[in-house]
Structure 1
């Protein structure tokens, strides 16, 4: 039987991703550099601060350096957790969509945190990414809210914009949450250095705790 280069490539990256999951000390997370002109680079101190908080509070051993990956790159398979944020336009071309879809159904996880303004663009692209698998709102009994830290009322509100409640919506594959979209919450702003937004300590703590829960869920699944 002849195996195409494409099938062989994805077989190799799936095996690599499984191996990464088995060695927490080798783990690293990444931020997604997407097309469309949106500011994917928003909140530059957010993920390093979240990693530090996780390593100190939930017994992870994540590398503090956060890498940048593009959605059409094979490199995304090196990172079990990828974060995406911004305020503006998002666009995935066909190569991006195929690679992201394979990454997610192979064991990867994408957290999209709307930094206010990206929601309509993200929703359009998610319809293309999983046309037969709609976003559903996470119930308050979902494990994301019930890890080391308890959030009985669901997603916390960090910054106010439109007076709308915060929402955490997900895409599931074979019973596993593979993509989490948080909106009207601004979690990433709460992860940033204190002087960036001057949030009260208790607000930053809530943001970091729910972020740690997300990380714990991903690496414990």
Structure 2
């Protein structure tokens, strides 16, 4: 097992590469994963809670190293894209909103993709809205904490078109029945003729790079618990009192059975990315074993299908 060098020398900051418009599958053809089988050592970014709704990244990247994009492939570069959305309370209430875990989770996950796969990764994740023209430049988008999310009619149309034209949406970090019902309701507006279904553990998304033996559940760092008997509490409590002890990975697929939308419910993969530098036990138990392996599997699936 190899160890990540968390003190990797930081290269000089460079301007953000521009991803030219091209078909989504152009990016996918460059994706051949070469895996480093484990991640150890201390982590990179410390938590810097981000309340400023500014899409720009902090100048110091919160301590996350940057790197140069291969000039031979300037247009074939994976960019982590967070979707900015509006919350109106919704059916799930108490949704934390689109800026949860930003920017540390996005920066850390981009770094780990760069380190642990052969994917060419943009060091600068971006934030866009579903109605932005550049949406179709990116084959992968991420929505977090949708418990209070409410799509506009224009966003409904844009997301439907995006997914049916080959895009992939990952939804993460929401807990309990009420918050799921809110997300299900909004996605039903996007796909009136399609319903989410539970993915079996045998589905390739759980094995495509890392061979996962269970569906991973990652709690926020403040909710992770260790019992004296060695047991681990890996779920967060929901405000509506519903059972959150079981993680769910549900999908909406196209007519060719390709996953268009992956719904990660009763789990918080983003916190496993964001908070990796704060506690060694949390890093070892949740970032290394669950959050990064599942995240890498998801991106691998999205970029190869």
TM-score category (smaller protein): 0.7 to 0.9
> C-alpha displacement at 1:196, in angstroms?
5.3
What residue in structure 1 maps to residue 200 of structure 2? 139
Q: Deviations over 1:50-86 (max 9, x none)?
A: 1211221122111121111111222111111101002
* Structure 2 Cα separation of the partners of residues 212 and 105 of structure 1: 23
Q: Secondary structure at the residue paired with 2:166?
A: coil
Instruction: Tell me, yes or no, if the aligned pair for 2:108 and 2:273 is still in contact at 8 Å.
Output: yes
1:48-87 correspondence runs (5 A): 48-86=107-145
Aligned residues: 207
5+ long unaligned stretches in structure 1: 1-12
1:61-140 correspondence runs (5 A): 61-86=120-145, 88-116=147-175, 118-140=179-201
Instruction: Tell me, yes or no, if the aligned pair for 1:114 and 1:181 is still in contact at 8 Å.
Output: no
Of 83-92 and 191-200, more deviation after overlay is shown by: 191-200
> C-alpha displacement at 1:138, in angstroms?
0.7
Q: Deviations over 1:133-156 (max 9, x none)?
A: 000011111111011201132x21
Say whether residues 1:169 and 2:230 are aligned partners. no
* Structure 2 Cα separation of the partners of residues 20 and 207 of structure 1: 24
* Structure 2 Cα separation of the partners of residues 197 and 125 of structure 1: 36
Q: Secondary structure at the residue paired with 1:180?
A: strand
> C-alpha displacement at 1:23, in angstroms?
5.2
Q: Secondary structure at the residue paired with 2:136?
A: helix
Q: Secondary structure at the residue paired with 1:141?
A: coil
Runs of 4+ residues over 3 Å off in structure 1: 18-25, 115-118, 195-198
TM-score (norm 1): 0.85
* Structure 1 Cα separation of the partners of residues 174 and 123 of structure 2: 22
* Structure 1 Cα separation of the partners of residues 148 and 209 of structure 2: 34
Instruction: Tell me, yes or no, if the aligned pair for 1:58 and 1:216 is still in contact at 8 Å.
Output: no
Match of 1:181 among 233, 256, 263: 263
Q: Deviations over 1:152-199 (max 9, x none)?
A: 32x211111244200000000021001000011111111113245772
TM-score (norm 2): 0.63
Cα RMSD for the two superposed structures? 2.0
> C-alpha displacement at 1:125, in angstroms?
0.2
> C-alpha displacement at 1:18, in angstroms?
3.6
> C-alpha displacement at 1:96, in angstroms?
0.6
Say whether residues 1:157 and 2:211 are aligned partners. no
Instruction: Tell me, yes or no, if the aligned pair for 2:217 and 2:268 is still in contact at 8 Å.
Output: yes
What residue in structure 1 maps to residue 304 of structure 2? 220
Match of 2:98 among 40, 53, 65: 40
5+ long unaligned stretches in structure 2: 1-20, 32-75, 89-94, 220-234, 238-243
Instruction: Tell me, yes or no, if the aligned pair for 2:146 and 2:182 is still in contact at 8 Å.
Output: no
Q: Which has the larger radius of gyration?
A: 2
